[in-house]
A and B are shown apart, each in its own frame.
Chain A
Amino acid sequence: NAGVTQTPKFRILKIGQSMTLQCTQDMNHNYMYWYRQDPGMGLKLIYYSVGAGITDKGEVPNGYNVSRSTTEDFPLRLELAAPSQTSVYFCASSYGTGTIEAFFGQGTRLTVV
């Protein structure tokens, strides 16, 4: 059972570079989320999606973009990386209705230098 899979696990970017964090889930969940977690802090919602083709901003969306072309995939795009984007990024998914518990991927540790 794969659950939620994130790639890569680690990445170092130079300031101004771009990259895409991949997230895929095999649980047929409608909802998918991207969070970032800074050291000693909780999870802050970047973007979320309630289904294919529908995305919405969370509390810290600046500097990021997302797309949801399929139910399974929810990539997070970083354009023009900045040191402030150094963080651990978690992707999560849930059914969204009824049983709405969210399940997390293993995370991507990103450092921008």
Chain B
Amino acid sequence: QKEVEQNSGPLSVPEGAIASLNCTYSDRGSQSFFWYRQYSGKSPELIMSIYSNGDKEDGRFTAQLNKASQYVSLLIRDSQPSDSATYLCAVNRVTGGGNKLTFGTGTQLKVEL
């Protein structure tokens, strides 16, 4: 079982719709969760972090965390063509060597006009 799993997509949504991106993780000891956006040929850019169960909203983005189900999601409201990118889920857990940040393979999002 992969430590962090995401559907690779592509996920296609029409402009103005809600895009829903999902991520599951295997280690129940994971404590911190992040969503990164990566445009083609560019480096990952942090867009959301979430540390406790529930929802966290920032503009058009909402991150949702359910530790009991080991599930993290990202909702993008009013999707725009500029949101077309790969979204990487990252999970942090504390190991004997310190914090270890593990990434999923990413979900490609395409927002269509």
Contact = CB atoms under 8 A, between A and B. Distances in A.
Interface of A: 31, 33, 35, 40-45, 48, 50, 56, 58, 90, 92, 94, 96-97, 100-107
Contacts of A101: 34, 46, 49
Contact of B106 (A42, A45, A94, A106): A42
The number of chain B residues touching the other chain, given as a range, is: 20 to 34
A59 to B, nearest CB: 8
Contacts, number: 58
A33 B105 contact: no
B43 interface: yes
A42 B101 contact: no
Interface of B: 4, 6, 8, 32, 34, 42-46, 49, 88, 90, 92, 97-106
